[in-house]
Amino acid sequence: MNTFSKTIVNWYKEYKRELPWRESSDPYLIWISEIILQQTRVAQGYDYFLRFVERFPDVQTLADAEEDEVMKFWQGLGYYSRARNLHAAAKSMNGVFPKTYPEVLALKGVGEYTAAAICSFAYDMPYAVVDGNVYRVLSRYLGIDTPIDSTQGKKLFAALADEMLDRSDPATYNQAIMDFGAMQCTPMSPNCLFCPLVDSCSALSKGLVAQLPVKQHKTKTTNRYFNYIHVRTGEYTYIQKRTGKDIWTNLFEFPLIETTTAISEEAFLALPEFRALFAKDDRPVVRSVCRDVKHVLSHRVIYANFYEVVLPESSLSFSAYQRIKSTELEQYAVSRLVHAYIEKYV
């Protein structure tokens, strides 16, 4: 074990986070935790993990579940393709989690990082993990300014991570370098003064900590404008399931009219698409509940307006939508945006 690896592991033994998935070598539990943590901070994902594995404690339970229920247990975590991929992968396993790196890597939604994490943590195989924390630690420690999102950078850091790996205990080393990046060598304002690598960190000696790691591409975001219609018709309301290859696929939501730009309340109420939702003789009571709610996703910014429409229970309006009791809304998986509205206004 090289000096870097030894220092990282010694730091980890003193400061490591006590996490439930670290108490097990069950590849299923490790897989669930790694998928949750792909786009989610540990503090946020912790309770979701506990709830998810309590309901779906093994591969077969998850495979046998309905997708709508899986999505409901995932609600609030975002990046919902992760949940759909989990469910599809569980169905492909025939009740048994795969035991080799190529088989794990072949699972839907599993990339090289996740496969390395599962195989090292569950099976103690010598595969080095390379995630955002590892990129940051290696880039700073070695003083490398090759962009981490370039082909050259990905190859370089994969090779370096493999070179640094403690092959006698890959599970501990992988956990150590990830925790070190998450807790010590943080993206902003890392605690360099009390870092165990203070005397050998290239970025610190050259004053480049804030500049490393380097990314060559900035994520391009687009704005979208959603106008949701919350219908109250007696004790009932209306919802629909999102389909197609768009955000929030297979999640439920209120009737929605998307516009190309921000739109005033008067202009919205005059839209032909809005008027077409109502039966001929209906006289709806419409009010704006909240406007310009900003919801930020990785590649999109959603600006949402929510309108309430009150109709008689016998109304034939919104006939193309699914009619449910308002008290049953919580049974359906919805986006974080819609859920926030339901919690506050419904």
Cα separation, 35 vs 45, whole angstroms: 10
Question: Annotated catalytic residue: which of 14, 18, 23, 34?
Answer: 34
Six-digit token string for 336 = 């974080």
Q: Which tokens hold the place of 240?
A: 């629909």
Residue 66 phi, psi dihedral angles, 5° rounding? -75, 145
Average pLDDT over residues 95-104: 97
Q: Using one digit for the tens of pLDDT, what is the confidence trace for 261-290?
A: 999 999 999 999 999 999 998 999 999 999
Query: ∠ at Cα 226 (221, 227), nearest 5°?
Result: 165
Residue 304, pLDDT score: 98
**Number of neighbouring beta carbons within 10 Å of residue 9:** 19
Among the listed ranges 91-95, 128-132, 219-223, which one has the minimum average pLDDT value? 219-223
The tokens for 256 are 């929605």
- For range 142-161, the mean pLDDT: 96
The pLDDT value recorded for residue 2 is 84
Three-state SS at 252: strand
Cis peptide before 284 (omega within 30 of 0): no
Tell me the C-alpha to C-alpha distance, in Å, between residue 203 and each of 132, 134, 177: 17, 15, 17
pLDDT at 335: 95
C-alpha to C-alpha distances, 42 to 18, 58, 120, 288, nearest whole angstrom: 11, 21, 19, 37
Using DSSP's 3-state secondary structure scheme, residue 204 falls into helix
Angle between helices 170-179 and 112-123 (to 10 degrees): 130
pLDDT on residue 162: 95
Cα 195 from Cα 4, distance rounded (Å): 12
Mean pLDDT of 152-158: 96
Helix and strand numbers (H, E) in the chain are 15, 7
Would you list the DSSP string of 305-331?
EEEEEEE-TT--TTTTSEEEEGGGGGG
Residue 43's contacts (CB-CB under 8 Å, 6 or more residues apart) are none
Which of 37-46, 124-133, 225-234 shows the lowest per-residue confidence on average (mean pLDDT)? 37-46
pLDDT surpassing 60 at residue 343: yes
Indicate the DSSP class of residue 5. H
**pTM, 2 dp:** 0.87
The pLDDT value recorded for residue 267 is: 97
Mean per-residue pLDDT, 235-242: 97
pLDDT at 180 over 60: yes
Position 1 pLDDT exceeds 60: no
Query: Is 34 marked active-site?
Result: yes
pLDDT digits (tens, 9 = 90+) for 286-321: 999 999 999 999 889 999 999 999 999 999 999 999
Helices (H), the chain: 3-15, 27-36, 42-55, 59-64, 67-74, 81-92, 101-105, 112-123, 132-142, 151-164, 170-179, 202-206, 265-269, 272-275, 336-345
* pLDDT over 90 percentage in the chain: 90
Residue 77 contacts residue 36 (beta carbons within 8 Å): yes
* φ, ψ for residue 164, nearest 5 deg: -80, -20
* pLDDT confidence tier of residue 32, bands split at 50, 70 and 90: very high
Q: Pairing between strand 285-296 and 256-259?
A: unpaired
**Rounded to the nearest 5 degrees, what angle is found at the Cα of 197, between the Cα atoms of 195 and 198?**
65
Average pLDDT for 324-328 = 96
For residue 217, the model assigns a pLDDT of 80
Closest among 142, 336, 346 to 231, alpha carbons compared: 346
Q: Residue 218 above 80 pLDDT?
A: no
- The distance from CA 167 to its chain's CA centroid, rounded to whole angstroms, is 31
Q: Length of the chain, please?
A: 346
Task: State the residue for tokens 């492909």.
Answer: 92
What would you report as the CA-atom Rg of the chain, rounded to the nearest whole angstrom?
A: 24
User: For position 165, what pLDDT does the model report?
Assistant: 94
DSSP-assigned letter for residue 239:
E
Residue 323 pLDDT > 60, yes or no? yes
Which positions ≥6 away from 9 have C-beta within 8 Å? 1, 166, 169, 172, 173, 176
